[in-house]
Amino acid sequence: MFLRVVCLSIVCICLFVGCSAGSALGTDLDRDAEPMVPFKIYNIGTKSVRDASALPDLLTNSRYKSDEIVFHSISKNTSFVGSPSGSLGRLAEEEERSVSLDGYYMAVFELTQGQWKALTGDLDGATPWDAATPANMVNALGVHDERPAFNLNPTIISKIFTNHPLLKLPSDDEWETATRFLNTQLYGWGNDVTTATVATYAVVRETNNGETGPQKVGSKFPTQNNLYDAHGNVWEWTANGHLRGGSWNDSIILARSANKLKITSGAQHALAGVRFALPR
């Protein structure tokens, strides 16, 4: 009788634990299966995040370029990174491979100077772009609250994460997947590199109209994932220590989604900015 009671108790405990573990696992699976909301908005002042199904005022609401950061969903996917052999501008390190990523969010705009000041408290100067070198690479037009923050490096950027731990740098794979059209094309709009098409989407050497310095974020059309200036304007740092996307002073070939530039992580450069990511 004693043995029967003990055995029944063990069975009950196992069932309870099994059900609990199964329930927790089910919750995780359910969460992964849930559709992602199209937009998340990070409020810099309150450090809070709210959801949005649509943002018709995305380009007209100045808060989205000053004291809030808008992110767009990138659904869980399996895609290719790198470049197939023989593709335009392909480099040896761009070996094509398959990657599987959980869902995440990418900022629709490159981080603006206004957002940088709100995040860091650099409201009265002493900003990274004040010390940009060589100085002749960026004229006075490049300094504006709605233009991207520049002259950044990972060390400077990481200081933001102390007070804003929800924000992060995207990985190379996250950045590249988010910026490619149909996960296979050279750019966020496809493979067309004619000046007329490129000018619609990107501020690069061929389309900057002789102006030195980055232009206001959101001045061009977005990619299929609603990312503006993913190609050109300023290079964007990733968590892997690479710069991605090219700049206003670089050719369209360097702005390819697969291209990545490696420089000393401690180096600041007038062409380097950042686009933040947000975990699901």
Question: Which CATH superfamily groups domain 39-279?
Answer: paralog of FGE (formylglycine-generating enzyme) (3.90.1580.10)
* CA distances (Å), origin 165, targets 208, 271, 273, 279: 35, 26, 19, 11
Q: Phi first, then psi: what are they for 213, rounded to 5°?
A: 105, 160
Q: Which of 70, 67, 68, 99 is nearest to 82 (CA)?
A: 99
* CA distances (Å), origin 174, targets 47, 106, 202, 210, 275: 23, 9, 20, 32, 12
Question: Where are the domains positioned within the chain?
Answer: 39-279
Report the pLDDT value the prediction gives residue 16, as an integer from 0 to 100.
36
Report the pLDDT value the prediction gives residue 124, as an integer from 0 to 100.
57
Report the pLDDT value the prediction gives residue 142, as an integer from 0 to 100.
82
* CA distances (Å), origin 53, targets 10, 18, 38, 143, 192: 49, 37, 5, 32, 31
Q: Which of 93, 136, 143 is nearest to 116 (CA)?
A: 143
Mean pLDDT by 10 residues, the chain (280 residues): 40 38 42 80 97 97 98 90 82 84 96 96 76 72 90 92 96 94 86 96 95 93 95 97 96 96 84 95
Report the pLDDT value the prediction gives residue 201, as an integer from 0 to 100.
97
Contact of 109 with 217, CB cutoff 8 Å: yes
User: Tokens 């977005």 appear where?
Assistant: 222
Report the pLDDT value the prediction gives residue 82, as an integer from 0 to 100.
85
pTM equals 0.86
Residue 197 CB: number of other CB atoms within 10 A?
17
Contact of 146 with 216, CB cutoff 8 Å: yes
Residue 127 CB: number of other CB atoms within 10 A?
18
